[in-house]
Amino acid sequence: MLGYTLRRIIYTAPVLFGVSVVCFALVHISPGDPLISILPADASVELQDRLRTLYGFDRSYPEQFILWLGRALQGDLGTSIATGRPVTSEVIRAVGNTLMLAAVATFIGFVLGCFFGFVAGYFSNSPLDKAASAAAVFGVSVPHYWLGMVRVIIFSAQLGWLPAAGAGPGGSGQWKFDLEHLSYMILPAITMSVIPMGIIARTVRALVAEILAQEFVIGLRARGLSELGVFLHVVKNAAPTALAVMGVQLGYLLGGSILIETVFSWPGTGMLLNSAIFQRDLPLLQGTILVLALFFVVLNLAVDVMQSALDPRIKR
């Protein structure tokens, strides 16, 4: 167990290095001088040179990379070109909101996905299975940003039940635990939960069908165990994989929240990315992507370790 965990961590290190190289390269694959967006069009050559030195753009790529990585490791992701504030503090503020939304959405998706998956797997090829499988196909096929729009149309524009945008009253950017703030989360969270719901339902359906076909289930039934008892055995066998899929989905939602956040004006990392892209604020873009990718890699690592801890049959 410990050996596996250590090996897994060591294996993650080069991936993290690669991820930082890609994030670093983002600024340099973008066309044009990265200084253009902060300089007035008639800036003097001296001013351009001074800023170039200040931002380190006059050095060679490897030099710039090492400097950038060194600062990033100390928690300094540079300065936002658009706002002049440190990228790190901007990202930290936004990550909390995204994490909150993604966690609630993953939870909803997990509960619904398990429900549909178990129903479909238990009654495979029955009309119930067909209905549950249809829900799963819907979940993985629907463009979630469109689903969000349709829900805004129904529940905000037509019925007026729920707020259409933002994370709180009066464009509040900070999340609080009260009913009013909660009403702002309902639509984006339910919309976002559709993807993990579909994927978890598909996984659980296949798992349950596979487990039910195994001999030990026949054995349990032959020993006269009640259906509930058999069900508990199935749950126990399906849990590690289902939980692992849930963990990975949380990572995908964290990184993929930009479309939902744009639809609902949710003040998270997606909104941050959106404004970074359109203001050509490359340090902010780079920093946000780095943090989100970091989250994703670490989460995957945690999921793998957790799965092998939960399921001793997985010999690695």
Partner 1 sequence: MADISVSQGVITPVRSAGYWQNVGARLVRDKTAMAAGAVLLLLLLAAIFAPLVAPLDPLEGRLINRLKPIGTPGHVLGTDELGRDMLSRLIWGGRLSLLMGVTPVVMAFFLGSALGILAGYAGGWTNTLIMRTVDVFYAFPSVLLAVALSGALGAGLGNALLSLTVVFIPPIARVAESVTTRLRSSDFIEAARASGAGAFTIVRVHVLGNVLGPIFVYATSLIAVSMILASGLSFLGLGVRPPNPEWGLMLNTLRTAIYAQPWVAALPGAMIFMVSISFNLLSDGLRSAMEVRQ
Q: Which residues bind partner 1 (CB under 8 A)?
A: 14-16, 18-19, 21-23, 26-27, 29-31, 137-138, 140-147, 149-150, 152-153, 157-158, 251-252, 254-256, 258-259, 262-263, 273-274, 276-278, 282, 285, 289, 292-293, 296-297, 300
Q: Which is nearer to partner 1, 184 or 237 (CB)?
A: 184
CB of 73 to partner 1, least distance (A): 18
* Both tokens assigned to 30: 């973008």
CB of 185 to partner 1, least distance (A): 20
CB of 13 to partner 1, least distance (A): 11
Q: Are 117 and 132 in contact (CB under 8 A)?
A: yes
Q: How far is CA 78 from CA 60, 66, 294, 306, in A?
A: 18, 14, 17, 34
Q: Which is nearer to partner 1, 234 or 289 (CB)?
A: 289
Q: Which is nearer to partner 1, 131 or 310 (CB)?
A: 131
Q: Which is nearer to partner 1, 199 or 211 (CB)?
A: 199
Q: Which is nearer to partner 1, 28 or 236 (CB)?
A: 28
Q: Which is nearer to partner 1, 114 or 258 (CB)?
A: 258
CB of 126 to partner 1, least distance (A): 17
CB of 273 to partner 1, least distance (A): 6
CB of 164 to partner 1, least distance (A): 8
What would the DSSP string read from start to end of 139-190? HHHS-HHHHHHHHIIIIIIIS--S--SSSSGGG--S--SSHHHHHHHHHHHH
Longest dimension (CA), the chain: 87
Q: Which residues of 93-110 are buried (b: 16+ CB within 10 A; e: fewer)?
A: bbbebbbbbbebbbebbb
